[in-house]
Structure 1
Amino acid sequence: MSRQSKQIQTMSDREVLRHLYVTQGLLLIISSGLGWFLLDGTAFERMWRWETATVVLYGGGGALLVLALEFLLLRYLPKEWYDDGGINEKLFQTRSLPHLLWLCLVIAFTEEWLFRGVLQTRFGLLAASLIFAVLHVRYLAKWFSFIMVMLLSFFLGYLYAWTGILWVTISAHFFINFVLAVHIRLDYLQAKHPED
């Protein structure tokens, strides 16, 4: 068992949640600070515009494509390829649906604002995607998971480059995370009550 896996197993539910909120808060502060210095008002207004059809088509459609591939791979690939040391299970398996919804909204908003809104807008798709993948440190030692995170980052970055609307990637990121979090929750409940 890796050091990270051992550490996550010794942490309480409250500690895991606290770490998540602190991390997301730091990302929000960093992205807001960098956005203030690196982006002009026009770029900021343009990325935050709302176009319902574009958000639904590209954000929702993009999420459906990723989820279809994800569930296909989950079905046919060895489970250990997806092992992240138990972090996702510890984070999502015991949460209520409203709490999962909130967590996924927070994560999608803060990460997309930093990686797509600030970094990609200022430094380009490649730099933003590499930083996104590297900051998901729990996947660095797992080649398959790292490749999947990298491909997801490039895909979300491409959606942003194509549309120029941050709500597209926020919605795609949210739906992907939320569906996978609910899947983890349902697997946990099924394992806990297999006779149901």
Structure 2
Amino acid sequence: MKRQAKIIQEMSDREILLNLYITQAIMLLIAVVLGFFLIDDMSAFWEMFKWNPVQIFLIGGGIAIIVIIIDLLFDRFLPKVWMDDGGINERVFAKRNVFHIFFIALIVSISEEILFRGILQTQIGLILASLLFALIHFRYLSKPLLFSMAVILSFVLGLLFELTNNLLVPIFTHFLIDFVLGLYIMISARKKT
């Protein structure tokens, strides 16, 4: 974790953003390649995108609000060292404007949910897809609480998809969590200055 924090400190904001966008592009590319080989009927894939406001906003949004509240409570009441991710989230969000945070959250939620729920979960199941999702957040491996939160969130997003068979639900849930917590980081950083 100390090595990661040192690497992050040495990177410019531009390099951090570039790495973020490259990793998301790679995830989308992997999703496309895997989808090409694993999905026989592309119409079945596109049917997973259903405009259902009740599922998307009430169920997905409700779950997102619960996750956000828990995260904010943890941030406020638990030792800071337990919630420290090496500074990466602060570096990603602290100096961004609202539109850029919106864009980052949108890109991340779409690329990760298409790969992990839309492709992997439909092919290898909820458990393996959720564990793989948690493992890509490897920066949390040395932080038991953060890694546990990533695992639980991954299973929650997977269960939302299982229950609704609607990829827009975990995409919106993931987006709302990242967007609101990104705004929180931005606002907190501005209060410090």
In the superposition, the TM-score normalised over structure 1's length comes to 0.95
In structure 1, distance between residues paired with 2:168 and 2:49: 7
> Aligned letter for 2:188?
D
Counterpart in the other structure of 1:171: 172
| 1:101-131, Cα deviation, whole Å (9 max, x unpaired) | 0000000000000011111111111001110
Superposition deviation, residue 182 in structure 1: 0.5
How far, CA to CA, are the matches of 1:14 and 1:67 in structure 2? Answer: 27
Q: Which residue of 1 aligns with 2:137?
A: 136
Residue type matched to 1:122 in 2? Q
1:59-98 matches, within 5 Å, as 59-98=60-99
Distance 1:36 1:168 in 2: 23
2:95 partner SS: coil
- Which residue number corresponds to residue 5 of structure 1? 5
Whole-Å Cα distance in 2 between the matches of residues 30 and 50 of structure 1?
Answer: 25
Q: Which residue of 1 aligns with 2:103?
A: 102
Structure 2 counterpart of 1:153: 154
CA distance in 2, matches of 1:81, 1:49: 38
Tell me, in whole angstroms, the C-alpha distance in 1 between the residues paired with 2:18 and 2:46. Answer: 32
Q: What residue is the counterpart of 1:16 in the other structure?
A: 16
Cα distance between partner residues in 1 of 2:126 and 2:65: 22
Amino acid at match of 1:22: I
Cα distance in 1 for residues equivalent to 2:71 and 2:14: 29
Cα distance per residue 1:147-178 (max 9 Å; x no partner): 00000000010100000000000000000000
Corresponding residue for residue 36 of structure 2: 36
Moved over 3 A (4+): none
> What amino acid does structure 2 have at the position aligned with 1:77?
L
Question: Aligned runs of 1:36-55 on 2, under 5 Å?
Answer: 36-39=36-39, 40-55=41-56
Amino acid in the other structure paired with 1:65: I
Task: Give the number of aligned pairs.
Answer: 192
SS in 2 for 1:188: helix
What amino acid sits opposite 1:5 in the alignment?
A
Using the TM superposition, name which of 44-53 and 151-160 deviates more. 44-53
Amino acid at match of 1:29: L
Q: How far apart, CA to CA, are the structure 2 residues paired with 1:129 and 1:168?
A: 16
Alpha-carbon distance, 1:65 to partner = 1.3
What code does the residue aligned with 1:48 have? F
**TM-score scaled to structure 2, two decimals?**
0.96
Contiguous gaps of at least 5 residues in structure 2: none
The two structures, once aligned, show a CA RMSD in angstroms of 1.1
Aligned to 2:8, the other structure's residue is in SS state helix
Shift of 1:34: 0.9
Q: CA deviation at 1:49?
A: 2.1
Aligned amino acid, residue 121 of structure 2 = Q
Distance 1:42 1:65 in 2: 33
| Shift of residue 42, structure 1, vs aligned partner | 4.3
